[in-house]
Each structure stands twice: as structure tokens, then as C-alpha cells.
Structure 1
Amino acid sequence: MCGIVGILGKGPVAAQLVDSLKRLEYRGYDSAGVATLDGGRILRRRAEGKLRNLEASLEKTPLGGAIGIGHTRWATHGAPTEANAHPHATERVAVVHNGIIENFRELRAELEAAGAVFQSQTDTEVVAHLVSKALEAGASPRAAVSQALGRLKGAFALAFIFAGEDDLIIGARRGSPLAIGHGEGENFLGSDAIALAPFTDAVTYLEDGDWVALTREGVEIFDETGAPAPRAAVRAAAAAIVVDKGNHRHFMAKEIAEQPEVVGHTLACFIDMAAGRIRLPDGADVDFSKLDRLAISACGTAYYAGLVARYWFEKFARLPVDIDIASEFRYREPPLSSGGLALVISQSGETADTLATLRHCRAQGMRIGAVVNVPTSTIAREADVVFPTVAGVEVGVASTKAFTCQLSVLAALAVKAGRDRGVLSEDDEAKLVSALVELPRLMAEALRLEPEIERLATTFAKAQDVLYLGRGTSFPIALEGALKLKEISYIHAEGYAAGELKHGPIALVDENVPVVVLAPYDPLFEKTASNMQEVAARGGKIVLVTDGEGPEHAGSAFAVLTLPKAYAFVSPMLYAIPVQLLAYHTAVFMGTDVDQPRNLAKSVTVE
């Protein structure tokens, strides 16, 4: 996850920028850079690799200036080279950026046609040229940024400095976090409170859609409509820790909110954003055309990710998939093909049953692929191929962001398999990749349902039983929703395939049983809506989670949660968000220990 720092200081800031960037190293990065204003001119230093390389560059050619921005980059568009490192700049503006600009190709073509000359392969440089063009047309820095934000599509955080403006930094967030640090005669901007801790413990967290103009004497915050939007400052005790809760009550809440950012960074490992194609990480390539079957194994939430992946691999690659709960895999004694591929999924990379499955498959001569969040874990070390999730540290025991990152990796692998096996054309791949690239923005929009979901949670907290229903890839999300509610609220919940309703579960339905129906408006919607009416006829409290035209068919639903319309391919990641939030707010209302629920551990390291 890229890291952003901005300083409006009282003296030279280059060394302070680097020190703050060091506090963001935990987010992961492959290049770094800083830009300052000295004598009104924008000056930059950038370097590939670790921050020590940037420090060496600054030692050789120091930067002056009491205002500056810094960045640690996780490459999305373009290789991790010095030319692609941030900040990106024109003579008028420098910018650092976290996230993805979805429409950068169209904007770049437009700007190049108008005479802009690009120096990098990144989407970020488009932002610099957009703002520069507005400045050249006579707009003020504030107006230029506001105009540019109106043209950008995606999920991102941005920070700008401007030539000749030594008392102004502008920041903006849409889907990626950004915080303001308040000082006396100086102010700061950062990806999180950890970066700001050396300077201040007074922090304001921007809300989604906000942008801010910082001077040394104060800050002006505006919402996405451009209206002034005062946000409260809080005290952040982040100086001595690596991960804090930010402005969230629990780690789980923070981790749910981080999903647009971490999913974007995970996808960047598997997608060539510029070309719109799948590109697996170095050393992680697999030729799916040589496989007759794929074996997937995992536990808990990771198992549900594997269930979704089965739909994808079989639909888009016509590759048969066997999937097992890891604790049952060896005891079922399935026949395994020597030379075949076993795919294991684990957040921690230390899950005992999953590790045992890995070793069992290896003993049968299979090649091992691991979808894992900890690259130094046992599973990662013992696998032949590692497909990394870039979820970052997940503190909450109930997995949230790790789950959607696992799904993102598996989705990319399914598209790769489809191309390898000749099932998907280049155009098919481009459409599916485009859907994945849009996902962080759509997830950020989905998070805006939180106030509705929080109100709904008061009803769920009174229930003794809750049912979750879904068809197709929504069925595993129904299972995951039920698991989340059980894990942290201790309410009994079950997930079912909607078509199974009349085969038993409907006997549980009465006016005291909430029934969550996950129904994207897709070819399966009508069948799921029919099941929903069967629930309504028996007095069940239906909570319909849908999109597009779905709300028009809600009937007598108790509540409707309307998600942004998305390509059906990515709906599992999107629909995970409301079920996570529903479980979270129900548990908070009931007063349970959300981050450390009873009887559970983050990593199950014994069988």
C-alpha cells in the first residue's frame, strides 16, 4: 500500500519527509521519492528500491525548502523504476498518489492530443497534467484541483504542492485513507496517524470524498460537492505502535474500511493496468492449459473464497475444480494426479490443517500454489508458487480484508486460466480486467451503506436465528455472512443456497427470523426473488441486498440495501462488504468483543 506524507514546516523538510516515510514501510513499497519547493521551484529526488537509496540520493544532492510531499510506491501502472516513482510533476505542480485512476488512458490520450508530454507509464502523471492544464488556463490551485477531481474515476488519495505557493498543500481522498496532522505554525498530511506521529498527536481523518487545503495557519476541508465540511480533530496515540485503529472504534471496522485500498494493491500485483491484461507476479506463473483438474483446499473464510473460485475457474476456464475443507481433505483420500496443481488458501500461512493438506499433496507429486497474506510464512516457504495477497496486517480475528484480497487473487487467476486454456478471448480478458479495475471504487461506494446497516443491526441483535440466502457466487457469500455473524455476535446463523430453501430451512422462518437475501440483478435474480417471496409469505423479515433494478422487485422486504451496479464477475467482493458491516454493527450493539471474539484465535496452528 502506497504511503503519502506532506509537510508544511518551519524549516527544511526533506529529512522529515524521509523519516515519516520510514514509518510507512510496513505498508510495503518498491520505490520512493520526495518533492519540495525551494525558491518557489519544484525539486524532486526519487529512487528505486528501499528508502536508503532515496537517502543516498538526498545526501549526494540535498533538497532545501520548508514545504514538501513524499511517497512510498507500490507499483500499479508501470515498473518500479525511478521514472515511475512519485512524486510526478510538471513545472507547475507535483503530486503523490495512492490508488488507481480507472480512466487514465482516456485522459492521457486527451492530454497528449493537447500537447502534454509524459515522462512515465503511470496513471498518476495524468493527474499532474490535468491540474497543470487548469493552472495554465488561469485557475487557482484550489480550483484546478477541484476541476481535476471532477474528471477522475477511481479510488485514490492525492497530495499536491504548487510552484510559487510555499504555504499550500492540497489533499484529497476517495476510497483511500488520508489524515491531517495539526501543529502550531505548521501542518501535515499523511496516509495514517503513524506517519504524523513524530510531529503531532492532533489528527483529523478526512471522510470519503473530502479534499483539504492546508496552510501553516489552518486547514479548510470540503466535501465532494465542494461545500465546507468541518471535521473534528482527535488525539492519536500512534507514536509507539505499527498499526493503530485510526478513527475507528475497532480494528475490524478499520479493516473493513481499508478494503478499497488493499484490494487495489492486490490487483496491481496481478494486472498490467496500462495494458488491461492479467500479469502474474515474477516467479508466480502457472500454465493452466496443462491441467486437467484443480484441487483447492482451505479453512473457514478462506474456504468460502475457494468456493467462489470454483465457479470462476469452471465458468471462465472450463477447468474442473475439486474443493475441500482442509481438515477433511486427507481423510477423504481423493485420487490426486502427479504433476497436477493444488491451490491452498490461508491468511496467516500457518493454518495447521491447510499446511497438512499442502504436504499431503506434495507427497502425491502435485505442484503447490499458495494464496497467502504472509510471504514469510510456512505455507509460503513450502509452496512451489506463491500468489500474494496484499491485505497488510489484519488484527481482527474475523477475517475481512484478507477475504476480499483472496477473492481478488483468485479472480485474476481464473482469468489467466481462461486465457491459457483458450476459453477467453483477448476482448473477454479486457472486459473482466476492466471489471476488476473498477472494483476498489465500487467497494468505496458500498461502504457508504454503513449508516443504513448500523440502523438495521438493532433488529438483528434481537434475533436468535438468522438465515442468509444466495445463488451462484452469492451462495458462498451467504455462507461467509452467516459465519461472520456467528463469529462476533454469537447469534446462530446459517447460509444456504437459495434453491435449497424448500428442502428444509424454510421450516425455521417466522416473523422473528431475519433472512438476508443476496441477489445481484443478474440472470439468477428472478429465481432468487421467487425464493424471497416464499420467505415473505411466512412472515420472515427479508433484508434484500441487491443492485441495478433489484430494488424494484423488493416486494414486502423489511429493508433493501442497494449496492452500485457491477459486472457479475466481481459481485462476490462487493457483496462481502454489507455482510461484514452487518455482523460488525450487530456485535457492537450487543457489546461483544469484536476484535477478539470468545473461543477464537486469529491463526489456527493446531489440528
Structure 2
Amino acid sequence: MCGIIAVIRQKSQRLPVPAAPLAQTLAELHSNLAAPTADLCERLLLAAEQLEQVDRVLRGVAGLQSLIADPEAAAAIGRQAEVLQAQAETLELALDQPLGSAGGAVLQLLNLEQTNAALIRCKDAIWAISRDRLRAARDVSYLGSRVLTTAPLSPAATAVLFSAHQALSALDRLEVRGRDSAGLELQISHHGLDLADPAIRSLIQSRDYRSFTSGSVKIADGTLIIVYKAAAEIGELGDNTAALRAAIIDDELLHLALGSQQVEAVVLGHTRWASIGIVSEPNAHPQCSDELITLDGTVVTLDGTVVTLDDTVASEQPAATSGTVGFVTGVLNGDVDNYADLTASEALQVAPEISTDAKVIPTLMSRRLVEGLSEYEAFRETVVRLEGSVAIAAAAASSPDRLYLASRGSGQAMYVGFAEDAFIVASEPYGVVEETSSYIRMDGETPADETNPTGSRGQIIELSATGAGTLSGIRRWSYDGSELPVTEFDLDLAQVTTRDIDRGDFPHFLLKEITASPSSFRKTLRGKLLEEGGKIRVSLTPEMLPDSVRAGLRSSRIKKVFVIGQGTAAIAGQSLAQHLSDFLAETDLRVQAILATELSGFAMREDMSDTLIVAISQSGTT
């Protein structure tokens, strides 16, 4: 289990707005979240719309600039968000009062399900403003703190550091998929550095590490590539990203590049749980295409000595890159099962300290670029040769405004989020939801051509900075090269927010889930189990329990109940089935708990009209 993150953006398409009026807007919403009255639901709906609008204005580079430009207004927004959050928590307590209590009378006038939904919208938006937007402003200022000592961050530099922040923030969440190492790469174009300047040249050459370890710098096709890495078998969540942030802050070369008014960057990141290759910086992703043998027929030995091969040996070696031609970087989720065969068949000259299977991806793509293929064709020719279930992201220095993605097999996922002026790529939805709820999921399983099911299974995507965040910036193909146009009908809407999946101030997600379980359970039952006159009654709307199901149970048309789930959900299903069996012991209704896979594999019948399926799902990360 690993995590992929990538960010590619275009220049902001809107101007920053003053932040001070937004604080006033929040202040005016205090009355909307006041004590419950008969119009509470309407008040909350109006507040939710206003809060979501403030959140939208503060998104993207334009919103970030608004907050950074006016720290006092940003602080005022934070204070108002705290007040609104406290009001929302007080409202939640009020909504859980018994209907027969002194404070519960007004609750009988409310549609508790709709009221609860409106309150959740308010809480989600308040969280986004305080924990996502304001935190982004603080983090970007922190990442650029060395630059800010000499001059304010330019819009271009702000955008680059914002992309870095977005990637780091996603890595913080993706670490639950593996955290023994992490890496973040900035592929910087329009950096304005004078590469002929001896001081700049010396700075770059001193960091041209052959194993692409932390701090490595490469110059290829005029593009500046800087990578930061951290690796430790034992550590806490957040240790790796803290190391990456510290390295960015202290990077003199990056600061010089950020001085350009036109600087742009593609960000590629990864958090790893090692499967092939030991835990080490050389094995951490991103991996690069550098090989030991260079185009001029020399080999760099372990001690850094450059040795020229004799003519016979050199002629037997395939042309490979030296970091200046066809330079490629990439990250991998999953395993390349045939990586050893590919290494041998292509005679890849991999440094011995690099043992991860991911190394073959940028190296093979680079070979194809040197042969004259386009970036897309070189990428496709590479990924179609990989065996195993994989998700891949790669970037070529020759096209610093492009990003290439691939997904094949059932074991790995990839999501492309459509954010404001940017694509946010992540291997889990919770890697994109901080910036957008709209995304597409790459389908690595369904063949695009039924007549060629093997060759057309898997998808490839090219993302362009021009049109980033819109349908015009994305192209998609199947593995056989057939184009698969992306339309608005391919877009999905995330059902979670950062408030759902952020571990907040807890050191571990498990501790958060244990702590939140009682309140989460209570909120789930809000409006469904009502205490009135010392008794409990059940209130389920037709949306929760359809009228057709009620009628089927009353008429005994439904004779069987299957409670299904997998993993944790299956255990919960067993509990439910046991209780239902006890309640229905004197009826003919048969209740059974069964694994979802057992039902689909062995218990399906042509006619199941007499069967009620209760499906239990579980989401979250422990």
C-alpha cells in the first residue's frame, strides 16, 4: 500500500478579492446558528450557502493571495469560524434532547433529518475555511518564509508553493497507506536561472546525486528538477512530511528559482510502504531515469569515479540517458512483477543501491524518448510492458507542462480531481477532497474493446497545464491506444470532506475513531430513534425504508433477510442478524448474516423477490 499525489496547474483565472468583507459575512451568520426554533432548518440552509460561498472564494491561488495579503483579515476570519464552530456544537447537543424535555418541544416541529443535513453542511464549510483555507495560507507563508525575508511572494511563486503545500497536505493523509518513506519533486520551468553563472552551476553540480536522494538537482531540457525525500522504517505519522517541509524551506536554489515572475512547477509526490526494495532514500519515489552508463559510454562507479568503457563493451551497451536527454521521473503504486526481466532484457544500468521495481518505469520511458517517440507514446510503450496491478504517474522534463498517468488491474486506484485552475491527482479520494469534490476515477479493469480484452484493459491519461482543472486539459486512452474522451458524465462527486477524513489533533486515526464513535453513533440515530414520554419510537422516512419494503414485510411476501458486508462491516452484520433473529423469532421471516462475496458467488438465485438485502458498508482508516 502506497500513496501517489501530483499537482499540475495553470495560471489563476481570477483576481484576489479583499478578505475583510468575508470576515464580516461570517459574523453576520451568528444568528443563523442560534438556539433551535421552528425555522432552524431554513436558517441553517441559508448559513450553509453563505459559508460554502466564502469557502469557494478562498480556494485556489486567488483565495490564497487574499489571505496572505491581509493577515489581520485572515485572523478575523479564523476567529469568526471558531465562534460558528462552537455554535454548531451547541446546536448538536440541543438536537439530541428528548422530545419530552423542556428544550425538546421545538424539535417536534422540525424535520430532524433535513435539519441535521443542513447542520452537517455548515460544519463541513466551517472546517474547510478554518482547517483548509487558513491553514494553506499559513503553510505557504511558512514554506516561503526565507523568500519573504527579501520580498513578498510573487503570484507565480505563491502558485508553486501552493502546489507543494497541496501535495504535502495530501501526503499527510495518504500516509495511512504506508509511511516508511516519502518523496516530493518539483519540476520547475521558467525559473529564470542563469545556468552559465558559475555560482549557479556549482550549486547545481554539487547536488547532482546519482541515486536521486533528498536534495538532488537535475537540469534537463532547461527544466529544473529538485527532489526531497525522507526514509525511516520506524517513525510517527507526519515525520516524513515535516522533513520534506524543512528541506523546502532551507533550499537556496529553490528560493532563487522562485524569484522569477513567470516560474511554474509540476509537483509529483509519493508515500511508500516498501514491497520490492529496502526502505531507503535511493528506493523512495519519485524515481528518475538516470543510469550508470551515459551516452558517451562512461560508467560512474560506487565511489563516484568516471570510467570509460572500451569500444567493445561500449558498443554492446544500449544508449541510455545521462540526466540531460530524455529525463523522466515517476512514482508507482503496486508491483511491477516483471521488473527483473525488463531490467535484463533492456540491459538497464541501475545503480546497485536502487532495488525498487519503480526504477524501470522512468528508465524505460526515457529510452523510448531517446529513440524519438513522443512523450505520450514513450509512456504508453512503457506501461503496456509492465505486468502486475499498477497505478503510475510520470513527468518528462521535455514537457514540463504535462503529466502522464496509468492504471491497470484491480488492486490500485487513481483519481483526478478537478480543482480551481488545477488538477489534483491522488491514489485515494481523500487525497483530492481538500481542494475539490469533483473527480474522475481511472478504470484499470474494464476493457475498452471487447474484441481485444487483454490489450485494451487499462487507462492512460495526459494532463496539461493549459486547461488544468477543466475538461479541456485532460486526454484519456485505453492501453491499446484507443482514445476515450472525457465528458462531464465521467465526473463523480466525493461523498466525504476533509472534516470526515482528517485525523485532526489525534496522533493516530484509530484513536480518533475510537474517541468519535459514541458521538458518531448518536448522530447516525438522530431523528430516527426519538425519546418521547419516557419511551423510544422509531421514525424512518420512505427514503430510509421504502414503502414497498414495508408492504412486503407486512404481507409476508418477503421471507428472507440477508445481512451482507465485508471485513468490519461483516462483523457488524452478524450482530444485526442476531438481534433481528431474536426480535423475529415468532415469525416465519428467516434472517442470515453472510459475506457479500459469498452472496454474489454462491447464494444468488434467478428470482430473489422474496429476499431483503441489508447491505452494511464501512469506510474510514484505522
Common topology (TM > 0.5): no
Length-normalised TM-score, structure 1 = 0.43
Structure with the greater alpha carbon radius of gyration: 2
TM-score by length of 2: 0.42
| Bigger relative contact order, structure 1 or 2 (CA pairs below 8 A, ≥6 apart) | 2
